[in-house]
Structure 1
Amino acid sequence: MSLTRRHLSLLGRGLGALVIVTCVSLTIAVIAAGVLGATALLVVGTGLALLSALFSPVLEGTWIVNFWDLPPTTVVAAAIGIGFVALPVVYLRPVRAEIRAFEQAIAGPGTPADDRHPELAAANRKLAAQAGIPEPDLRIVNRRRPESYAIGGRTGGTIVLTRGLIRELDDEQRVAVLAHEVAHLANDDSRFMRRLLVPLLVAERIEADERPTLNRVHGLSPISHGGRLLAWGVLTAVTTGQERLCELGIGLFSRGREFAADRTAAELTGSPGALASALETLDDSRGPPTQDKREYARSTSTLDILPPAKRSRSRFVRTHPETARRIERLKTMAETAKETRTAS
């Protein structure tokens, strides 16, 4: 496949993923904003009704007394407007903070490759120059499980290799894996995936919210509880389907980017067989993660070179192609390159 056709294929997958996730994001935003706003209006309106009942002679003719007489369209518009103001505070900011904390947790404890592995640092500089991007920060993390990650974009990117990966692979295989991660940065995959993950993690956060419990502390607690229960019920009901659609969009793009990164890595190193061999070795040595399940959230699987040990329930939502398919493609590339050299 030519470079132009490859870029068009990757662009098509990216646009498809973007359309799916954008539609889902808008749906989540409108529903969540409406429910949050309606809950706020319910609590405020009930409070105003109590004030009107207690101080009706004083408040007669004011907007406080006439609040519940507002047209339905005005109430709906107000609810959605209030919800859109509250939505970033309630969900978007925590999710973005979660992604930042996750990325810092991956790379933060690592040491610069120059300290212990100058040969990898030199390979990193060479591969980045070949790919036409600034040299990314290469860090070695002290974890036993063999893993590699690319975080950031074409500029200011970070590549993380674990000591487990370095122990499992030989020099040529390490460079091949490093080239794969450089390819992700060159394609700006991680930055794009970061954007795609936001609506998915918002849906996860909404779905994970516990059922509100009644706490009789204030006089309006039963009313407040009813509003919170309504909001929880509606949001929980819609997030499951929205979450699956987000997974579909992310999987659609992510699988394509893995194939593209494999091919680019093979071109950068000139050795498709080295990456195929590395994938085989890692696939045989990888077990399930020993850390807490939340530490290996979906965001982790989109960044790693291999899929998680526990396979996804459907091939349509997997973030990685089957490793055997990737190895087969790389071996085919190696055979084609060998035949070309022989013919010339």
Structure 2
Amino acid sequence: MAVVGGILAGFYLVAVAAAMVVFGQGVLPIAIVGSILLVGIQYKIGKWAALRSVGAEDLSETEYPQIHQFVEQVCRDKDLTKPSLKIAEMGVPNAFAVGRRGNGTVVISRELIQLLDREELEGVIAHEIAHIDNRDVVTMQLGQGIASIVAIVAQYAVLFTGENDIADFFLAIVVGNLVQFFVMLFVLAISRYREYVADADAKEVIGRGEPLARALEKIDQGNQQAQVSAQNATHRRSRDDRRRDTNIDQQVSALCISSPDSGLLRKIVSTHPPMEKRIQRLRS
């Protein structure tokens, strides 16, 4: 975390220095204020979009008292403000957290509640609370903001150091995307590491790793079954429906406790470490 965080900070400082070289030293206050605004806007929009994309609703305390009681107990132990609890129909058993330590939200899918037993569900919820307690959502948003800032500076550097013609315009787009992708590799490395940390914190909360390990196995199997069902039902769905579902997956998958990434390239750009390694660590 320290090494990767230092590298990201280095990328940001290089971007600010490059902006000062291209635009002059007077751009420094604008760069700093603009960076803060960009990260803040991304944070607000990201939280709103994630909740809206799954149609999250308040989790009834009358219908699910045990979940609320468990969250309240964990938050007391951690001296943490109780996050808002919401439920959504995601089509797959999953859960995710958004927000910061004093104003967090945990979303649980109905499919997850139906699939897991009480101890397994508590392991998953403890994992999501750990993300809020460790400020992982804010950390990831900051990393993504740095990637965006570096990409923007790279694009303008190409435009202002070239002849500013149509060729430079397209070159700036290509350079910006490549630079952002490269920086995001480090951000994604942080994301994968934070999943291990959240798993370890959840293991400590519930006293052992086996319940969360079983939950991850069931979630993984549920996601695989949902993918097979979706493929079999493709011919019965309209193109607009498929496009909408894909957008929902892209917006939320990075936040969820499980991500369906597989293959070497996908593992490199995945927000989550391999499921089998997480389960192995929980059972070790």
TM-score (norm 2): 0.75
Q: Mean alpha-carbon deviation: is it higher for 153-162 or for 230-239?
A: 230-239
Q: Indicate whether 1:100 and 2:100 are aligned.
A: no
Tell me which of 116, 122, 133 is aligned to 1:175: 122
Q: Which residue of 1 aligns with 2:58?
A: 112
Trace 1:84-233 onto structure 2 (pairs within 5 A).
85=30, 96-108=40-52, 109-113=55-59, 114-201=61-148, 227=164, 229=166, 232-233=169-170
The whole-number CA distance in structure 1 between the counterparts of 2:38 and 2:128 is 28
Secondary structure of 1:116 counterpart = coil
Alignment: residue pair count:
260
For 1:244, which of 181, 185, 188 is the aligned residue?
181
In structure 2, how many angstroms separate the alpha carbons of the residues matched to 1:269 and 1:295? Answer: 31
Report SS of the residue matched to 2:111: helix
The CA RMSD over aligned residues, in Å, is 3.5
1:327 maps to 2:279: yes
Residue range with higher mean Cα deviation, 303-312 or 186-195: 303-312
**What is the CA distance between 1:124 and its match in structure 2?**
1.0
Residue type matched to 1:261 in 2? A
Give the distance between the partners of 2:32 and 2:172, measured in 1 at CA. Answer: 13
Q: 1:206 touches 1:235 (CA, 8 Å); kept in 2?
A: no
Question: What is the distance in 2 between the residues matched to 1:159 and 1:271?
Answer: 22
Which residue of the partner structure matches residue 9 of structure 2? 22
Residue 269 of structure 1 and its aligned partner are, at CA, apart by 0.9
Structure 1 residue ranges without an equivalent (≥5): 1-12, 35-72, 209-225, 333-344
- d(CA) in 1 for partners of 2:166, 2:27: 18
Code of the residue aligned with 2:41 in structure 1: it is A
Among all aligned residue pairs of Structure 1 and Structure 2, give the percentage whose two residues are the same amino acid.
25
SS at match of 1:313: helix
Residue 45 of structure 2 aligns with an amino acid whose one-letter code is: A
Distance 1:117 1:300 in 2: 24
Deviation per CA, 1:293-333, whole angstroms, max 9, x where unpaired? 44444x6443211123455615444321110011111112x
In 1: Cα distance, 2:40 partner to 2:252 partner: 15
**Aligned letter for 1:270?**
G
User: TM-score of the superposition, structure 1-length normalised?
Assistant: 0.64
User: Which of structures 1 and 2 has the bigger CA Rg?
Assistant: 1
* Distance (Å, rounded) in 2 between the aligned partners of 1:23 and 1:137: 35
SS state of the match for residue 303, structure 1?
coil
Match of 2:260 among 294, 299, 308: 308
Where does residue 215 of structure 1 map in the other structure? none
